[in-house]
Amino acid sequence: MNKGHLSEYFEGVGVKILSAVDAEPKSSNQHEIGTTVPMRKFLGIEKTSFNATYIWLNDEQETITYQGNATYYDCREEKDRPAEFRLYYPTNDVTELMSAGDTLFLAIRPDKSILFIVVPSDSTIQSQLLWLFGMDEQPQLKFTIQGFEGDEDGKIDFISRFILDEIGIEFEDPDSNSLDSIIEGFGLKFPGTAEFSDLARLTLPEVDARDDADEALLAWLNHEEAMFRRLEKKIVSERIREGFSDGDDIDVDAFIKYSLGVQNRRKSRMGRSFENHLAAAFDAHKLVYDSQVITEKGKKPDFIFPGVKPYRDPKFNTALLTMLAAKSSCKDRWPQILPEAERIPDKHLVTLEPAISTAQTTMMHESDVQLIVPGRIKKSYKKEQQDWIWSLRDFIALVSDRQSKLA
């Protein structure tokens, strides 16, 4: 098993488009999915009951999960005919949402449990999962498979972890112990995000945004994320050891409140960390800007170049103004940036989200939103999308050119 690789988390995956027969309930309150011969490599040739995690994901709402089981067996076992294996699964919160035309990812874990992941076809999450699992072809009505045995190319990086988080898999950094000397000064307290971001850059002295802003941004984010998860593990482990009790009773409400706090901290911290490291990249290139300034109607763009004072000056040349919104994850929220900075008709949006669907990026393009994605993440997009998506280097070149005309 390769530590830090996909093979540590998956033996293989099969993907298919759900047919009406797959998705519609039967009178027995059971569903069934026919498998293919290649799937036997992962599922076997014996009747088996698998522990299964059912997951519904789409681009607009929260993830829905259900813990249950799935039964795999040969429906022709008593007949003198070639084997035909099917996967039976009970009705649950996830299967009630799925319908014909949705995409099923059936991922087999090393412990022989199954992730039964259902997503809408042609959605961003479908594109991301196909990219994560290294599957180039679009799903068909029959399973296509991908295995990870002996996988040397499936090393998990910042981009892969982004998607693993979406399906509820916690990445275990094989080198996390090496971070203890960096974070020991914080004890069991979280520092402010700015302080943590500064430390991440300070402890990567070999990384310089002047050489490659795209790679520097990802290196800083990856390092800070690893530092944060290591410190978080220490703090949360200690809190769990203390327990959640109210006298002789277990305080369930306190546990839930603490758990939600952990999740919310992760989400909010990533957004602020992203902005901190973007600012450091802009500073390295000596760009002039203001961040988190208020424009019309109380809107607050993440970055205005060359600053809020020129923006508010009606005599300042609008063609030299640039607005940048930063969203670590876009989902369907990108239209929120359209009314920000009304003086600037063309909006720029930078994100860390890989493989956004073609439908979403087309809507951005038609809405005069220039999408910016760090170079390595840009490779997760389809060729026709990459042709117009910018890298961070492209954006810095634009602003540098406009800034040169201010003198």
Nearest to 107 by CA among 134, 82, 81, 84: 134
**Is 311 considered catalytic here?**
yes
- C-alpha distances (whole Å) from 89 to each of 10, 24, 30, 168, 401 are 21, 12, 6, 21, 59
Q: Where are the domains of the chain?
A: 6-156, 176-284, 290-404
Beta bridge partners of 245: 250
Task: Give the single-character DSSP code of 246.
Answer: E
Alpha-carbon span 279 to 328, nearest angstrom: 14
The structure tokens listed for 246 are 């109210």
| CATH of region 176-284 | 3.40.91.80
CB-count exposure of residue 61 (10 Å: 0-12, 13-18, 19+): exposed
Q: How high is the mean pLDDT of the chain?
A: 89
Kindly report the pTM of this predicted structure: 0.87
Q: List the catalytic residue out of 72, 289, 311, 381.
A: 311
> What is the second-level CATH architecture of the domain 6-156?
Beta Barrel (2.40)
- One DSSP character per residue, 61-97 reads S--EEEEEEEEEEETTTTSSS---EEEEEE--TTTTT
Quickly name the fold that domain 290-404 has: Restriction Endonuclease (3.40.91)
pLDDT value of position 268:
82
Answer yes or no: same fold for 176-284 and 290-404. Answer: yes
* CB under 8 A, 24+ apart: contacts of 292-296: 295/340, 295/341, 295/342, 295/343, 296/339, 296/341, 296/342
Residue 402, helix vs strand vs coil:
helix
Model pLDDT for residues 256-275, shown as the tens digit of each residue: 888 888 888 888 888 899 99
pLDDT value of position 261:
86
pLDDT value of position 243:
85
Band of pLDDT at residue 155, cut at 50, 70 and 90: low
Model pLDDT for residues 58-112, shown as the tens digit of each residue: 877 678 999 999 999 888 777 777 888 899 998 899 999 999 999 999 999 999 9
Model pLDDT for residues 199-234, shown as the tens digit of each residue: 999 999 999 999 999 999 999 999 999 889 888 888
Alpha-carbon span 360 to 308, nearest angstrom: 30
pLDDT value of position 2:
47
Q: Is the pLDDT of residue 30 over 90?
A: no
